Chains A and B, each alone.
Chain A
Amino acid sequence: MENSYEETIDKRRVHLRPDTLRDPAPASLHLLPCEVPVNRPTPVGRFFTPAIRMGRDGLEASFRGRSLRGEEVVVPPGFVGYVVTEEKAEVLMGKQDDHERGAGTAGPEALERDCDRFMGATASFSSFTVWGLESIPGPDAKLRGALSWPSLAAAIHAQVPED
């Protein structure tokens, strides 16, 4: 009884492989001010990066004919940036599927419970370039607020002193 319970919990978990955090290759990241509705390889190094110039107020580039202004943003102190992707579930999948059907997990959440999934860091970064349309995202930009979140979160979640 105890065991089957533990097993069910395990099936809902997604693991992040710690060994992948150790030494992933550095990545170059750009946050664009537009939605590109696909996820796929694209020749960034051929079309985008070579066009980046140092302008009077920050970096200049263009994308799809629109002019972009950007600057380098450093990740908050004490943090490391990672690009994390899900690892392919390979051959095990088929077996697990059968097992699952036998166990009778049903309902809308069944898919998530199928089996443990694994994610790993494929790259790391300590800064990235943030781009705005025609002007650099200002100090009021949502991203700036978000980047100050870790220091605020540290205060909210630090243990309070005893009386």
Chain B
Amino acid sequence: MARGADGGDGARVWQHVFLLPEYLKDDSKKMKSGLVFVKLANPCSGEGTIYLFNMCLPQLFEIKVFKEKNHSWFINESVQSGGLLHFATPVDPLFLLLHYLIKADKEGKFQPLDQVVMDDMFPDCILLLKLPELEKLLQHVTEEKEVDKKKYYKYSKEKTLKWLEKKVNQTMAALKTNKVNVSARVQSTAFFSGGQVSSDKDEDYVRYAHGLISDYIPKQLSDDLSKYLKLPEPPASVRNPPSKVAAQRQKRDK
């Protein structure tokens, strides 16, 4: 073993294979510490998910893991089971903030942000408040009031849907530039296995982009966005919740 730290038993530690944005390498010259893995509430599922937080910038990255059955790595002179490949990509913090804004909206009043973004399960959520230009970001999804120089926010569904529509559009544009890769993936998704292949290519892209964005918003909002974008109902067998299928059956029975 050439590399000292990995010699002997040391090499038995788990080696994680990561892809990180190049600029973190340049930023690292300026910082002594400040890159931290934290557990935050996933805005789609609400479950704890690992994110990478850059305290210096500050900036938030999500970690996605490529994981396929029957893979392993050879890393220099060692073997690492699992064959996992971790991606750290920048994430729009507004998705994570939205999770809390929607929760707080049940109280139906304007609130200061530090009272909205609170979480006993994931206390690191207060890191979100350190992110730059929060006020500007929040304009996309909230109504705001200023009292005694303190800002108060309230979730706005109308503004959020408008914002999400823009997100869908810019995702669609990216899907089109990556055309080769994406067309294969569009066809291989479960969306189109129900037999209702649309002849309208653009509609396929909207639906695919909607699916991607839906990974970052709660189910209810995803359904609302689907209606807002006037997406046709996907095939019942694939996406409809059981209650809806039952309702349709009742109609048919009449």
> Total contacts A to B, CB within 8 angstroms?
232
Contacts A78-B21, A82-B20 given; does A41 touch B77 at CB 8 Å:
yes
Interface residue SS majority, chain B:
mixed
Which among A90-98, A99-107, A153-161 touches the partner chain? A153-161
- Docked complex Cα distance between A30 and B80 (Å): 10
- Docked complex Cα distance between A139 and B178 (Å): 13
- Docked complex Cα distance between A118 and B65 (Å): 20
User: How far apart are B152's CB and chain A's nearest CB, in angstroms?
Assistant: 21
Q: Point out the residues of chain B lying under 8 angstroms from A144, CB to CB.
A: 181
Nearest CB to that of B170 among chain A residues? A155
A84 adjacent to B174 (CB under 8 Å): no
User: How far apart are A28's CB and chain B's nearest CB, in angstroms?
Assistant: 6
B81 adjacent to A36 (CB under 8 Å): yes
User: How far apart are A142's CB and chain B's nearest CB, in angstroms?
Assistant: 5
B19 adjacent to A39 (CB under 8 Å): no
Interface residue SS majority, chain A:
mixed
Nearest CB to that of B122 among chain A residues? A12
A32 adjacent to B35 (CB under 8 Å): no
Contacts A42-B79, A78-B21 given; does A157 touch B92 at CB 8 Å:
yes
Binding site for A on B (CB under 8 A): 1, 3, 5-6, 10-25, 27-29, 31-39, 52, 62, 64, 66, 68-83, 85, 87, 89-92, 123-124, 126, 137, 140, 163, 166-167, 170-171, 173-175, 177-178, 180-182, 184-185, 188, 212-213, 216
A25 adjacent to B36 (CB under 8 Å): no
Contacts A15-B36, A146-B66, A152-B175 given; does A38 touch B71 at CB 8 Å:
no
A157 adjacent to B75 (CB under 8 Å): no
Binding site for B on A (CB under 8 A): 5, 8-9, 12-19, 21-22, 25, 27-45, 48, 75-76, 78-86, 88, 119, 121-123, 139-140, 142-146, 148-161
- Docked complex Cα distance between A127 and B76 (Å): 13
Contacts A33-B71, A156-B212 given; does A38 touch B79 at CB 8 Å:
yes
Q: Point out the residues of chain B lying under 8 angstroms from A16, CB to CB.
A: 35-37, 52
A85 adjacent to B25 (CB under 8 Å): no
- Docked complex Cα distance between A25 and B82 (Å): 23
Q: Point out the residues of chain B lying under 8 angstroms from A28, CB to CB.
A: 74-76
Contacts A18-B32, A18-B35, A143-B66 given; does A44 touch B15 at CB 8 Å:
no
Option from A13, A17, A31, A145 in Cβ contact (under 8 Å) with B38: A13
A sample of 30 cross-chain residue pairs with beta-carbon separation below 8 angstroms, ordered by A number, consists of: A12-B38, A12-B124, A13-B38, A15-B35, A18-B28, A18-B34, A18-B35, A27-B75, A28-B74, A41-B77, A41-B78, A44-B76, A80-B21, A82-B17, A82-B19, A85-B13, A85-B14, A85-B15, A85-B16, A86-B13, A123-B76, A139-B180, A145-B184, A146-B66, A146-B85, A148-B182, A149-B64, A151-B177, A153-B64, A156-B213
